[in-house]
Chains A and B, each alone.
Chain A
Amino acid sequence: MRKFIPITVPCAAFEEEAKRLKIPKTRLKVLMTIVEKAKAELFNQDGTPRLTAEPGKSRKRASAD
């Protein structure tokens, strides 16, 4: 099994951009949560990009029949 890529939320770059944009910490916390959820939608377990046929729709499993 491939090792999980260390994409962590939060990371230093995220904090830095939040500082540049002057986003208050309380608001940033909520944004971090949605980014964490987005990570699961956009990346596979091993950290490689998850590609879907149509954005917003997960890949269909092959039919058994």
Chain B
Amino acid sequence: MPLPIDQIDQKAVFLNIPYDQEFSSLYVAYIVGLYQLDLVPHLAAEIPGGDRRLDRVFKLIKQCRYSIHDLSRVEVSVAPTATPRFNMPLELGMTITWQILKPRQHTWFVWESEPYRLLRSASDLNGTDPYIHDGTVEGVLRELRNAFPRDNAPTLQRMLQAHHVVQSNLDVVLTNAGTRNLYSASVFKALCWFAFALAEMDRISKKVSAIRK
């Protein structure tokens, strides 16, 4: 059942990303960067259990105006037996279907770490220009600015500063949440709040500076 337009959160961005330790600084970059651009990230992990995971994911995708699908870690796992990671392409497939059915309700973006890798991993996406983040925090923030251009966007340098502050406080956030799992709902929410607070302080500072002038 399609959602009425007013039930879609126009600032919401569904993050389809790998939940692994090596991705942690890029994960923080997505959260910080989106808040800096006045958007709100959402993660499948934040929805309480009950329904089947796939149902919860689809419900969330439908509520979000945008989605980012980071396929940079779609690869075969090292641990035996080597298994390809299909979750991210699966969720991208669901999103593409949703967007085809309701083109004005959703916009999706594909992120990759290197050019042309997408053509090897998912050649059906030929014609889609992925955002290439080079596997770096700076790359993620830079490409977020390209995907969501804003007149009042903070500088890349400022976004990097905010990321650094959040990243350097990760231990406190994890301890406070009582878990070491960065992708748990409680940690995700704490990171969201932290990133929101930093972005909000910047906005207040800008407003006051404008009044002074």
Q: List A residues at the B interface (Cβ < 8 Å).
A: 5-7, 9, 11, 13-14, 17-18, 21-23, 27-28, 30-31, 34-35, 38-39, 41-43, 47-49, 51-52, 55-56
Q: Is the CB of A27 within 8 A of B177?
A: yes
Partner of A5, one of B173, B198, B205: B205
Residues of A within 8 A of B169 (CB): 34, 38
Answer whether A7 and B161 are a contact pair too, CB < 8 Å, given A27-B190, A35-B198.
no
Instruction: Give the total number of A-B pairs whose CB atoms are below 8 A apart.
Output: 83
B46 and chain A: residue at smallest CB distance: A21
Interface residues on B, range: 20 to 34
A35 and chain B: residue at smallest CB distance: B197
Can you pick out 10 interface pairs between chain A and chain B where the beta carbons lie within 8 Å of each other? A14-B197, A31-B190, A31-B193, A34-B194, A35-B197, A38-B198, A42-B161, A42-B165, A55-B163, A56-B168
Interface of B is mostly: helix
B88 on interface, CB distance cutoff 8 Å: no
